[in-house]
Amino acid sequence: MLYLIIIVLGLFGEAFVRNRIIISGDATATAANVRSMESLWRFGIASELFLLICAVGLTVIFYVLLRPVSRDLALLAAFFNLVSLAVEAATTLDLVAALFPLGNAGYLKAFAPEQLYAIASLSIKSHSYGFGVALIFFGCDCLLLGYLIFRSGYLPKSLGVLMQIAGLSYLTNSFALLLAPNFANRLFPAILVPAFVGEASLCLWLIVKGVNVERWEEKAGAWRASGA
């Protein structure tokens, strides 16, 4: 269920908060939306932080689930995901920072309204790039998880392949954002469709079917006996 919560909150933050409030290329309209829907903006920030809390728990679950395949690779995947979560948590502060220039503090009178709108817009832009950096580490995590799932024997190999495709999609999108932003705009959101399919498939499989417990216990027993 943690995975489902993460996916739902992620879609909520992107589709129903930021896409609704942020007007691409129009700092004035975006600022007006943030001011008029400040409660929704703040709720989006809170939901993103709650998502990260859930993701830490999910990281531990995946480590325990997949360490019988390879403890070292499962640990490496956990580290990649924790780095991703730390970067995402830090870049979420940019969404908070976007509120400061749009407040009523007296010192803000030193700036023209257009300058304040631009400052808020830059904070939002910084968040989008920071989130892209976070997805680089998450993409590496997905590649490793996909490999471990493929080798596990207690989860379908197809899920492993889908997760590796998801990882490649995240990496492609994020590096394109950093190296060729205009090209990335043409790729997005199509490049993330395979990523959503991979993650959603794994999430639904774990909820509906779950793990082949007998095979997991057999593999876990062999792992413990080997002293790995």
SS3 for 148-199 is HHHHHCCCCHHHHHHHHHHHHHHHHHHHHHHHCHHHHHHHCCHHHHHHHHHH
The confidence band for 218, taking pLDDT boundaries of 50, 70 and 90, is confident
Do the Cβ atoms of 149 and 155 come closer than 8 Å? yes
Residue range 184-205: average pLDDT? 86
- Say how far apart CA 54 and CA 75 lie, in whole Å: 18
- Which of these ranges, 23-32, 126-135, 159-168, 206-215, has the smallest mean pLDDT? 206-215
Looking at residue 211, its pLDDT comes to 84
pLDDT above 90 coverage of the chain, percent: 65
The whole-chain average pLDDT of the chain stands at 90
Looking at residue 32, its pLDDT comes to 92
Q: Is it the case that residue 228 has pLDDT exceeding 60?
A: no
CB atoms within 10 A of CB 211: 14
**Looking only at Cα atoms, what is the longest distance across the chain?**
69
pLDDT in tens, 110-122: 888 899 999 999 9
Residue range 66-75: average pLDDT? 93
pTM score, whole prediction: 0.91
Do the Cβ atoms of 111 and 82 come closer than 8 Å? no
- Say how far apart CA 123 and CA 141 lie, in whole Å: 27
Looking at residue 105, its pLDDT comes to 81
- Say how far apart CA 63 and CA 158 lie, in whole Å: 20
185 against 82, higher pLDDT: 82
pLDDT in tens, 134-148: 999 999 999 999 999
The confidence band for 225, taking pLDDT boundaries of 50, 70 and 90, is confident
Look at phi and psi of residue 210 and say left if phi exceeds 0, alpha if psi is from -120 to 50, else beta: left
Looking at residue 148, its pLDDT comes to 96
